[in-house]
Amino acid sequence: MMDARSDERSLGQLFGDLSRQLSTLIRQEITLARTEMTTRIGSAGRGAAMVGVGGAVAYAGLLALVAAVALLLIDAGITPWLAVLIVAIATAVIGGAIAAYGKTEIARTDLTPRRTIETIRDDTEWAKEQVK
């Protein structure tokens, strides 16, 4: 049923009200999407940081191990190229494992703003009902 107030408003006034309400709703949806994406991007950023840290640690480890092997070679008499190769392979495996962990964290992060999509669907239904 329509009340007396809505009967007195013109079609232009009704569309003006609808336009203002939709404008407010859209601004709120944009704010929600921004908040939701910021949260999800932060999570992906942590995974990316792990990839970066893993790479840096692997590189530092490679340098330290190569230096340690060089010192060990002097004491142990092992062929230098073979000792450096062994150290390089071990360092690459460790660095690869850390980077793979970070990549998994990034892949696991869902960047879809699901709450925003759901509320936009609800808003669309509401707008359809308002136009009827």
Look over the chain and give the mean of its residue pLDDT values, rounded to a whole number. Answer: 79
Residue 130, pLDDT > 50, answer: yes
Residue 73 has pLDDT above 70, yes or no: no
73 vs 21, 36, 51, CA distance in Å? 77, 55, 32
Question: CB of 47 within 8 A of CB of 105?
Answer: yes
Contact status, residue 113 vs residue 40, Cβ threshold 8 Å: yes
Supply the pLDDT for residue 96. Answer: 92
Q: What pLDDT, in 10s, does the model give residues 105-119?
A: 888 887 777 787 888
Q: Count Cα neighbours of 58 within 13 Å in the Cβ-side half-sphere.
A: 19
Work out the average pLDDT over 8-16. 77
15-55 pLDDT per residue, tens: 788 778 878 888 888 888 788 778 778 777 888 888 889 98
H/E stretch holding 79: none
pTM over 0.75: no
